[in-house]
Amino acid sequence: MKVYDGQGETESEIKSEQIKVGIAEYDVTKNGAVLTTSGLGSCIGVALYDDTAPVSGLVHVMLPSADDMEDGNSAKFADTGVETLIEELEATGGDRENMVAKIAGGSDMLDFSESGSGIGQRNVEQVKETLEAYDIPIVGEDVGGNHGRSIKLKSSTGDLVVKSANKESTVL
Amino acid sequence: MKVDIQSLETFNQLAREGAEQATTSMTQMTGIEADVEVTKLSLVDRQDVGEELGDREFVGVQFDYEGELAGETVLVFSRDCRTSLIEALVGGADSKAMARSGVKEIGNIMMSGFIDGWADYLGASIDHSPPSYIEGNGAAVLPDAPAGGDTNHVFVFKSRIEWVDESIEFYIYMLPEYEPLTTVMADHADTGDDAIPVDKLEVFNEMTRSGTEKAAENVTMMTGIETVAEVSQISFAPITDVPKQISNETYVGTVIEFTGVPSGYLMVLFDEVSAKNVAEAMMPVDMGDDELTDQHKSAIEELGNIMTSGFVDGWANVLQTSVDHTPPRLVHDMGQAIIDPLAAQVGRHQEHAFIIDSTMRTDDIEFEAEIHALPNEQELRQALDDLLVERAGKTDADPEQIFQE
């Protein structure tokens, strides 16, 4: 786990640090860094923000649930990914009581399944369920549809910028 | 000789850890934050090693090593990357000699950790030479891939490392000699149910090349543009690295799901410029439009369909089974977002995946197409098991038949 606390950086560095969050990865920051993740199809980016600390974090989850999978990477799944991010934010000084969430992704593009709902939709449902279990409100979302997204969490403001191919960016 | 999924996973993981260690060393020396983007183990035709380097200029270091594993390891930076690295390290290079020694120093520190990691895991010593400075354009910067007896294929471990803030990347290649590597991998395999005969993996690669050649012929027939199959490789990577196989530029193309043994997904993707160029070659009139119109897209859909048929027929002929597939779906989106739902689908049952990649190009216009297949791992293994090696040459799809569909 990486925590960027700003130590060791020069005062003159004004441009916000960018931290790339890969698939099935998460990261947290308390120095106003910009957390980015790209190429969300059915995957979801979950951004959590506690402005009283302030701390922010972003996780890029791929599949709905860790159940029945022998896989040690908690950040790969919607349920354990969100849980892990909450815990890491608390370890960095946040409090779940003050956290709010913004989510993007969960597209149903290229869903070949003939019955039932696709992975994108199930990812959305699972993320919402887990956040609800922790009583964390979703204050912004851009989910579903049939297009991909890339997102940027500006942790100094809590703004989540969502970019889609062939479309203007929106800010959640 | 058989290797199993576990040993492929382990070796890929070793390469990844080595690359991460090398990257950490560099960050400590220079203060530049970088991330290992992707590590994969590919089986490639010797002549295709390093295709992804394009025609750009590279500098770097090379080590030879021998022992349990023998071969070469190379770390290459693009030239721009070198300038920034050396500035970070010594505050600017006044002379060529200084730049060279800077590259050597960084390379040395990065790569020692990489090789030591392997030796530790194998519990054997691997001796490596001092670093030597290399420079060159594209694949020419790499050492010749080691010849391995009667095979044209080599296993290559490739890591792509990107700087966080800038779009600068560098690559680590490990090119082990074929025999020692497969011996070590076989030693570390427990050859249970999931064992894979290495020689059949090669056949599969050749089969993919034939499929791509068929698809390229179909492009030529449809558009009148002479198109050639460029690279084909089969790679193995963690499922979470699969979407990174494609850049996040916007692509246009088609995706199908195929069923049978193996089942999986097949993508035919064009970057937007290529899509526009090739679509216009199929149209009777000049569009004179910069935007990608619906007409362009329907031409791409048709072309994707024909390319898919050619490719799948190439496979089916070798496997002697029918490979059924869904009608193609047209996609126009960020590359990674296109492949991400497919990786997720496959990732429900497996942690790692085989990815079959090929590209085709033409000299006439700016045009490049990528074909990526993502088969179910278990079924691929079964298909390989059932595969008679001598059928590899028999991939003659009948074009007439394709056009009748």
Among partner residues A18, A23, A39, which is closest to B334 by beta-carbon distance? A39
Across residues B353-360, what is the average pLDDT?
Answer: 84
The rounded distance, in Å, linking the Cα atoms of A31 and A4 is: 7
Strand partners, B153: B45
Across residues A32-52, what is the average pLDDT?
Answer: 93
Which value, to the nearest 10 degrees, does the dihedral of the CA atoms of residues A59, A65, A71, A73 take?
A: 10
Find the residue in A nearest to B251 (Cα).
A165
Q: What is the pLDDT of residues B171-182, one digit of tens each?
A: 888 888 877 777
Find the residue in A nearest to B267 (Cα).
A110
Residue B334 contacts A, CB cutoff 8 Å:
yes
Contact map slice: A 35-74 vs B, CB within 8 A: 38-43, 62-63, 71, 73
Find the residue in B nearest to A35 (Cα).
B164
The rounded distance, in Å, linking the Cα atoms of B345 and A4 is: 33
Residue B338 contacts A, CB cutoff 8 Å:
yes
Among partner residues B164, B243, B333, which is closest to A23 by beta-carbon distance? B243
The rounded distance, in Å, linking the Cα atoms of A132 and A32 is: 26
Ramachandran category for residue B138: left, alpha or beta (phi over 0 → left; psi -120 to 50 → alpha): left
Mutate to test the interface with A, among B27, B333, B346, B350 (most CBs of A within 10 A): B333
CB B39 within 8 A of CB B237: yes
The answer, yes or no, to whether residue B371 has pLDDT greater than 80, is yes
The answer, yes or no, to whether residue A114 has pLDDT greater than 70, is no
Name every residue whose Cβ is closer than 8 Å to that of residue B48 and which is 6 or more positions away in sequence: B230, B231, B232, B233
Across residues B314-337, what is the average pLDDT?
Answer: 84
Q: What is the DSSP letter of B364?
A: T
**Binary contact (A149, B337; C-beta < 8 A):** yes
Residue A93, amino acid: G
Closest approach of A17 to chain B, Cα-based (Å): 8
Q: Taking CB atoms and an 8 Å cutoff, what residues of chain A touch B335?
A: 39
Residue A19 contacts B, CB cutoff 8 Å:
yes
Would you call the peptide bond into B262 cis, given omega within 30 degrees of 0 as the criterion? yes
Strand partners, B127: B66
Mutate to test the interface with A, among B20, B33, B336 (most CBs of A within 10 A): B336
The answer, yes or no, to whether residue B125 has pLDDT greater than 80, is no
**Binary contact (A165, B336; C-beta < 8 A):** no
**Binary contact (B240, A76; C-beta < 8 A):** yes
Residue A103 contacts B, CB cutoff 8 Å:
no
Q: What is the DSSP letter of B148?
A: B
CB A111 within 8 A of CB B341: yes
Catalytic-role residue among A19, A24, A35, A43: A43
Structural domains in chain A, CATH included, are: 18-171 (3.30.1330.200)
Is A15 one of the annotated active-site residues of the chain?
Answer: no
- Could you tell me the pLDDT band of residue B47, with boundaries at 50, 70 and 90? confident
Closest approach of A149 to chain B, Cα-based (Å): 7
Which uninterrupted H or E stretch holds B353?
Answer: strand B352-362
CB A42 within 8 A of CB A120: yes
3-state secondary structure chain A: CCEECCCCCCCCCCCCCEEECCCCCEEEECCCCEEEEEEECCCEEEEEEECCCCEEEEEEECECCCCCCCCCCHHHEHHHHHHHHHHHHHHCCCCHHHCEEEEEECCCCCCCCCCCCCHHHHHHHHHHHHHHHCCCCEEEEEECCCCCEEEEEECCCCEEEEEECCCCCEEC
Closest approach of A48 to chain B, Cα-based (Å): 22
The rounded distance, in Å, linking the Cα atoms of A107 and B338 is: 10
Q: Which tokens in the block code for residue A6?
A: 């700003």
The answer, yes or no, to whether residue B220 has pLDDT greater than 80, is yes
Predicted pLDDT at B120 = 76
Mutate to test the interface with B, among A110, A112, A113, A123 (most CBs of B within 10 A): A110
Residue A23 contacts B, CB cutoff 8 Å:
yes
Predicted pLDDT at A104 = 95
Q: In terms of DSSP bridges, do strands A138-143 and A100-105 run parallel, antiparallel, or are they unpaired? A: parallel
Most confident of A52-61, B95-104, B182-191, B252-261: A52-61
Higher-pLDDT residue of B170 and B307 is: B307
ipTM score of complex? 0.84
Residue A157 contacts B, CB cutoff 8 Å:
no
The rounded distance, in Å, linking the Cα atoms of B309 and B293 is: 25
Lowest-pLDDT choice from A111-115, A144-148, B21-25, B349-353: A111-115
Residue B269 contacts A, CB cutoff 8 Å:
no
Among residues A76, A75, A102, A103, the alpha carbon closest in space to that of A88 is found at A75
Q: How far is CA B380 from the centre of its chain?
A: 18
The rounded distance, in Å, linking the Cα atoms of B2 and B22 is: 30
Find the residue in B nearest to A40 (Cα).
B337
Q: Report the mean per-residue pLDDT for chain B.
A: 78
The answer, yes or no, to whether residue B398 has pLDDT greater than 60, is no
Predicted pLDDT at B288 = 64
- Could you tell me the pLDDT band of residue B380, with boundaries at 50, 70 and 90? confident
The rounded distance, in Å, linking the Cα atoms of B98 and B86 is: 9
**Binary contact (A23, B240; C-beta < 8 A):** yes
Predicted pLDDT at B175 = 83
Q: What is the DSSP letter of B247?
A: -
The answer, yes or no, to whether residue B136 has pLDDT greater than 70, is yes
Name every residue whose Cβ is closer than 8 Å to that of residue B73 and which is 6 or more positions away in sequence: B62, B63, B65, B111, B114, B115, B128, B172, B173, B174, B175
Closest approach of A125 to chain B, Cα-based (Å): 16
Predicted pLDDT at A107 = 92
Q: What is the pLDDT of residues A65-109, one digit of tens each?
A: 887 666 678 899 999 999 999 999 999 999 999 999 999 999 988
The rounded distance, in Å, linking the Cα atoms of B197 and A56 is: 48
List, as one string, the DSSP characters of B52-69. GGTT-EEEEEEEEEEESS
Would you call the peptide bond into A54 cis, given omega within 30 degrees of 0 as the criterion? yes
- Could you tell me the pLDDT band of residue B157, with boundaries at 50, 70 and 90? confident
- Could you tell me the pLDDT band of residue A55, with boundaries at 50, 70 and 90? very high
Which uninterrupted H or E stretch holds B81?
Answer: helix B79-90
Q: What is the DSSP letter of B151?
A: B
Q: B92-123: buried (b, 16+ CB within 10 Å) or exposed (e) per residue? A: ebeeeeebbebbbbbbeebbbbbbebbbebbe
Contact map slice: B 33-52 vs A, CB within 8 A: 35, 37
Across residues B314-333, what is the average pLDDT?
Answer: 82
Higher-pLDDT residue of A134 and B183 is: A134
Residue A110 contacts B, CB cutoff 8 Å:
yes
Ramachandran category for residue A8: left, alpha or beta (phi over 0 → left; psi -120 to 50 → alpha): left
Q: How far is CA B232 from CA B105, B121, B179, B205, B302, in A?
A: 35, 30, 21, 7, 23
Handedness of CA B83, B89, B94, B99 (dihedral sign): negative
Percent of chain B with pLDDT strictly greater than 70: 83
Which uninterrupted H or E stretch holds B296?
Answer: helix B294-319
Across residues B348-355, what is the average pLDDT?
Answer: 85
Residue A147 contacts B, CB cutoff 8 Å:
yes
Q: In terms of DSSP bridges, do strands A26-29 and A3-4 run parallel, antiparallel, or are they unpaired? A: parallel
Structural domains in chain B, CATH included, are: 2-187 (3.40.1550.10), 195-404 (3.40.1550.10)
Name every residue whose Cβ is closer than 8 Å to that of residue B333 and which is 6 or more positions away in sequence: A41, A109, A147, A148, A165, B250, B251
